[in-house]
Amino acid sequence: MLLIGSDLQAQRGRNRGRQVFKAYPAFGTTGAQMEGDELRGFKKWGITAGVGAMLSLDRDNMWHASIEADFSQRGAQNKTHDPYRLLDFTMNYVDIPLTIHFTDPYGGITVGAGLVYARLVQQPHGMLYYTPNYFIPDTSDMSFLKNDFSAALDVRFPIWKGLTLNFRLQHSLLPVKNNWGFTSYPSTASSQPKHWTNNCYNYFISFRVLYVFGEDGHRTKHIPSKSHSKKHKKRR
């Protein structure tokens, strides 16, 4: 629906001299981690795919607003023995990002920032094993909150015509799980176990390929308005 509606609006915009809307499909991969699970590193890989539409905000096509509907996978993974023996779970989300972009009129590189609303459509599924007598997470309740609100940074590099390479960094603003409990066991039998809780946040980066319909691949050049040109000629 986004692609069809945007294409119709784009045709109307071209009839008035410029393309107002541009639509694009997107496909790529994600590298994620779960802040709060006592691990580090973007070790959980998944897929992402969706469609989007960009609205031109100025006559020079340097400022845009975009909205998307994406499927993306997040979660956590660890295959070492410290502190988990094996951790590998996946969460499936539907993302609705709203982003404001600026395009370099000479280099064609686009940078943007925005907010993302995500809906968890499948609770964590996978494997979680821990090493007894050392480190134990509380697995009695592994449910996560269904709504995720995130901030996003977005960079796009034109490759050829409408083909674009996209990098997006996304971090939850609010916890996706509250008070996940952990217990660590010391090496000496005389010491007492340590208990604590963490709030968890999704943190991931996506690498995508976009194809922007109606993009000719030419760099945008600033063209002075007609009124400015007439004034300049009169002064001469």
pLDDT tens-place string over residues 150-201: 999 999 999 988 899 999 999 999 999 999 988 877 666 667 778 899 999 9
* pLDDT reading at 63 higher than 60: yes
**Which residues, 6 or more positions from 133, have their beta carbon under 8 angstroms from its beta carbon?**
185
pLDDT of residue 224: 46
Instruction: Please tell me which residue, 58 or 135, carries the higher pLDDT value.
Output: 58
Q: What is the amino acid identity at position 170? A: Q
Q: To which residue do tokens 């006592």 refer?
A: 38
CB–CB of 95/88 below 8 Å?
no
CA pair distance 146, 85, nearest whole angstrom: 28
CATH of the domain at 39: 2.40.160.20
CA gyration radius, the chain: 23
Contact 202, 95 (CB under 8 A): no
Q: What is the pLDDT of residue 169?
A: 97
| Number of structural domains the chain divides into | 1
Work out the angle at residue 207's Cα, subtended by the Cα atoms of residues 202 and 209, and round it to the nearest 5 degrees: 135
Q: Does residue 11 surpass a pLDDT of 60? A: no
- Domain containing 29 equals 2-235
- At residue 74, the pLDDT reads 94
Global model pTM greater than 0.85: no
pLDDT band at 23 (very low <50, low <70, confident <90, very high): very high
Provide the pLDDT for residue 130.
64
Cβ atoms of 72 and 97 within 8 Å: the answer is: no
